[in-house]
Structure formats: structure tokens, C-alpha cells
């Protein structure tokens, strides 16, 4: 994918600006009194600057991948955000909270997850250094993205 002509200064960004994968343990709340650990791997690819891919894996070997909006995650660090399938809430600092909350709803059910907000926030800052807010469209291959959307629409 050729995108150097769309990027500021006409140069392809340095490889060192890619973000490393963030691996952390989140907690899936299955009842009022029970939470189970779930491994979350957050990946950011500057070729798809609007999205963050998150692979959630449990101890039994099951993995589910969600594609989330980077902007939604960033907003969720500070205020409730999202509608529909993905909702995110920041921690309640008044009561000593330090977890970001995610409610994910899909065809197979829903999951309420909590994870360390400071770690995720620092990682999201790295994504902003790789692709600053407001410049995402400069590094995208719009033809490829539109073709992918059309292909997905024809599958439905």
C-alpha cells in the first residue's frame, strides 16, 4: 500500500513509531461477587489508524477479537462513551477507582470487563505519537478501506 504521498512531509514514518502490543490482565465480571481474569492484547496498526484490535483470551483457550475505535477508547478514559455494542466508562476517582470499564455486547452474549486505566491510557498516548489525532486520514488507503466495506456488505 503506497501512502507516503499522503503523509505530512511526504515521508513514510519511521518504523520506531509503531506501537508495541499491549498485553494486560482484565477482569470479566460474571456476577455481583465473581470476576474471572481474561488476557487482553491491544494492537494498533498505523495503516488502520482509526481502530484498535483487542484479542481477549481466557484460560480455556478461547479467543475473541474486537475492533474498537481508538477515539472511543480515548474518550472513555475521561467520560462515559459509546453506544450499542461497545460502551466504556472511566474509573470513579472519587471512590479510589483505577479501572476502565467496558461493556461489550455481541451475538453470543455480553461481557463486562475492567482493566487498569493508567496502563491503557499510556499505551493510547503511544498510538497518538505514532498517528496524531486529526491526521488519521492522511495515512489511510481509502480505496482499500472502501473495498473492504463493500466486500463485508455483500456477505450479509
Percent of the chain with pLDDT over 90: 56
pLDDT band at 108 (very low <50, low <70, confident <90, very high): confident
Least confident of 15-24, 47-56, 74-83: 15-24
SS3 of the chain: helix, strand, coil, percent, to 5:
35, 35, 30
pTM for the whole structure:
0.76
Percent of the chain with pLDDT over 70: 75
**Beta strands 86-89; 22-31: pairing state:** unpaired
Q: What is the pLDDT of residue 47?
A: 85
Q: Output 140 or 91, whichever has higher pLDDT.
A: 91
pLDDT band at 14 (very low <50, low <70, confident <90, very high): very low
| Distance in angstroms (rounded) separating the CA atoms of residues 101 and 27 | 10
Tell me how crowded residue 127 is: count the other CB atoms within 10 A of its CB: 23
Least confident of 19-28, 44-53, 86-95, 128-137: 128-137
- The yes-or-no verdict on residue 56 having pLDDT over 60 is yes
Amino acid at each position: 500500500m503506497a501512502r507516503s504521498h499522503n503523509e505530512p512531509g511526504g515521508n513514510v514514518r519511521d518504523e520506531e513509531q509503531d506501537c508495541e502490543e499491549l498485553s494486560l490482565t482484565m477482569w470479566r465480571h460474571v456476577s455481583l461477587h465473581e470476576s474471572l481474569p481474561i488476557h487482553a492484547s491491544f494492537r494498533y496498526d498505523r495503516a488502520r489508524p482509526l481502530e484498535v484490535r483487542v484479542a481477549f483470551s481466557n484460560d480455556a483457550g478461547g479467543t475473541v477479537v474486537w475492533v474498537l475505535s481508538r477515539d472511543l477508547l480515548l474518550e472513555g478514559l475521561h467520560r462515559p462513551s459509546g453506544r450499542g455494542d461497545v460502551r466504556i466508562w472511566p474509573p470513579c476517582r472519587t471512590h479510589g477507582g483505577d479501572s476502565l470499564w467496558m461493556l461489550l455486547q455481541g451475538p453470543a452474549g455480553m461481557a463486562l470487563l475492567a482493566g487498569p486505566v493508567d496502563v491503557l491510557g499510556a499505551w493510547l498516548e503511544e498510538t497518538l505519537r505514532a498517528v496524531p489525532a486529526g491526521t488519521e486520514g492522511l495515512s489511510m488507503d481509502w480505496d482499500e478501506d472502501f473495498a473492504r466495506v463493500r466486500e463485508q456488505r455483500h456477505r450479509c
